[in-house]
Chains A and B, each alone.
Chain A
Amino acid sequence: MPQAEPAVTVQEVSRRFGHRWVLRQVSLEVAPGEAVLLVGGNGAGKTTLLRVVSGLLRPNKGSVKLGGAVGMVAHHTMMYDALTARENLTFFARLHGLSIRQRIDGLLQRMGLAHVGDERIGTFSRGMLQRLAIARALMHEPKVLLLDEPLTGLDDAASRTVIDVLGELEQRAVGLMVATHQLVELVGTAHRVGYMVNGRLAAIEPCAGDAGQVVERYRELASGG
């Protein structure tokens, strides 16, 4: 890994909803071009961690430092059903202060959506919406990309497109944090795996690319091993 300024620095972050702490003193760094996979059961704090890193949620304790602009792909598309794919991207480009028609065309092309660019996204399949959400998140060339279950509901072809795009981001020194349950598909893209258990980052370790090993290690940590 290059020894550059970290893309993400999370220091002792805790977050609670009401009286329940859903993140407890989480610390980690993600280097530029590094992909960190976050694994854990439902309610382990993966989504909350990504929302805190993105700035959508403020931590109750601790701090987050980003090495550049952030993009995020979550369960929801974060776009408007009544607008077309191109209108959605143009709207978000304007909010980013960009005027990049050619880039929007390029992104639609890369995501395999050029032929439906002028159709309302309310008619899109889950796979098309997810690819469009990635286009939205990449439009401003972020230095950090956060993905929450990016392959949920996607067929093989759509999953392949998403995985290929994630692979390209490593070359562009984008730091990736990916929360997922779909280890088999995504473990090959990860440099390290962070194991979340009850709001804590129980361990963060290099990834050997074997989903079975990751599952075993998670079970060990979750059972207090």
Chain B
Amino acid sequence: MASPLSPILAIAAKDLLVERRTKTAFFSSLVFALLVLTILYFARDKTAVGDLDLAPGALWVTFTFAGMLGLNRAFALEMGNRAIDGVRLTPASATEIFLGKVLGSLIFVGLVELTAVPVFVLFYDVPIWRQLPLLLLVIALATVGFVSVGTLFSAMVVRTRFSEVMLPVLLLPFLFPPVVAAVQLTRSLLANRPLSEVSGWLSLLAGFVIVFSTFSLFLFEAILEE
């Protein structure tokens, strides 16, 4: 008997295999990430803006917009040849399809983030090692929230004209709370401040992830239908 995880893993593995073959989204996201980090580094006046003031914002602007390039592609590849219809004709449920797409996008965005972090450390002289586990937790939480909501919106806009423009327009207002929370938490952790000082932001981030991920999961079935 097939594992209940099997459809989820199959969808995620297929997305990553398609991306490995085409490489378009990964390289465009990566180039974008490196470009943003570089431009922000050279644009500032180091005597006026310290590393700790700029680094958290630079990191999350990079992650958010680079990730969005990947999310744009998440459902575009399903619409080519209407492959999503083939998937819907199988016993895979809307929940399994959603979780498969989220898992594939999480790995994709995670790889982009993983590649961008060394450049971030190189440009911005910030001590990420001091509270690395907590910093990774914040990055993981914000990425899960961002990818869950982004996957839902990607499915929503993919049938519209100018979907690549529509995704950021619709998604960014929803991402405001988790990105601001992630910036505040990152700033505090890089400054080696105790987490208790920013526990409110952590609650906001965790709350967003739980509420909006669940919301996206339940709405996805309606979005899949025409």
* B-binding residues in A (CB < 8 A): 54-58, 70-72, 74, 76-83, 87, 91-92, 94-99, 120, 136, 140
B88 and A92 contact, CB distance less than 8 A: no
User: Which residues of chain B (78-114) have a CB below 8 Å from chain A?
Assistant: 80-83, 85-92
Known: A71-B89, A91-B10, A94-B10. A78 touches B82 (CB 8 A): yes
A74 and B85 contact, CB distance less than 8 A: yes
A56 and B89 contact, CB distance less than 8 A: yes
Residues of B contacting A76 with CB < 8 Å?
Answer: 81-82, 85
B82 and A95 contact, CB distance less than 8 A: no
A87 and B6 contact, CB distance less than 8 A: no
Known: A83-B21, A95-B7. A56 touches B88 (CB 8 A): yes
Give me 27 A-to-B residue pairs in the complex whose CB atoms sit less than 8 angstroms apart, sorted by A's number.
A56-B85, A56-B226, A57-B225, A58-B225, A70-B89, A71-B89, A74-B82, A76-B81, A77-B81, A78-B81, A78-B86, A78-B89, A79-B83, A80-B80, A82-B17, A82-B21, A82-B22, A82-B77, A91-B14, A92-B90, A94-B6, A95-B7, A95-B11, A95-B91, A96-B90, A96-B91, A97-B6
Assess whether B18 is interfacial by the CB under 8 Å rule.
yes
Interface hub of A55, A79, A92, A136 (most chain B Cβ within 10 A): A92
B89 and A55 contact, CB distance less than 8 A: yes
Residues of A contacting B17 with CB < 8 Å?
Answer: 82-83, 87
B226 and A78 contact, CB distance less than 8 A: no
Residues of A contacting B80 with CB < 8 Å?
Answer: 80-81
Least CB separation from B226: chain A residue: A57
B91 and A80 contact, CB distance less than 8 A: no
Task: Please measure, in the bound complex, the distance between the C-alpha atom of A73 and the C-alpha atom of B14, giving whole angstroms.
Answer: 21
Query: Could you tell me the distance in whole angstroms from the C-beta of A205 to the nearest C-beta in chain B?
Result: 29
Task: Please measure, in the bound complex, the distance between the C-alpha atom of A80 and the C-alpha atom of B18, giving whole angstroms.
Answer: 8
Task: Please measure, in the bound complex, the distance between the C-alpha atom of A94 and the C-alpha atom of B18, giving whole angstroms.
Answer: 16
Least CB separation from A137: chain B residue: B89
Scoring B residues 1 to 27 as 1 if CB is less than 8 Å from chain A, else 0, what string do you get? 110001100110010011001100000
Task: Please measure, in the bound complex, the distance between the C-alpha atom of A24 and the C-alpha atom of B209, giving whole angstroms.
Answer: 44
A80 and B87 contact, CB distance less than 8 A: no
Residues of B contacting A70 with CB < 8 Å?
Answer: 89
Q: Which 3 A-B pairs have the closest CB atoms?
A: A78-B86, A95-B90, A97-B2
Contact of A80 among B7, B77, B226 (CB under 8 A): B77
Query: Could you tell me the distance in whole angstroms from the C-beta of B196 to the nearest C-beta in chain A?
Result: 46
Residues of B contacting A92 with CB < 8 Å?
Answer: 86-87, 90
Residues of B contacting A80 with CB < 8 Å?
Answer: 14, 18, 77, 80-81, 83
Query: Could you tell me the distance in whole angstroms from the C-beta of B179 to the nearest C-beta in chain A?
Result: 32
Residues of B contacting A83 with CB < 8 Å?
Answer: 14, 17-18, 21
Residues of B contacting A81 with CB < 8 Å?
Answer: 80-81
B22 and A72 contact, CB distance less than 8 A: no
Interface hub of A56, A83, A98 (most chain B Cβ within 10 A): A56
Task: Please measure, in the bound complex, the distance between the C-alpha atom of A94 and the C-alpha atom of B85, giving whole angstroms.
Answer: 16
Query: Could you tell me the distance in whole angstroms from the C-beta of B139 to the nearest C-beta in chain A?
Result: 29
Task: Please measure, in the bound complex, the distance between the C-alpha atom of A99 and the C-alpha atom of B7, giving whole angstroms.
Answer: 12
A94 and B81 contact, CB distance less than 8 A: no
Task: Please measure, in the bound complex, the distance between the C-alpha atom of A82 and the C-alpha atom of B19, giving whole angstroms.
Answer: 9
**Known A56-B89, A78-B86, A97-B91; 12 more pairs at CB < 8 Å:** A56-B85, A76-B82, A78-B81, A78-B82, A79-B86, A81-B81, A83-B14, A83-B17, A92-B90, A95-B10, A96-B91, A97-B1
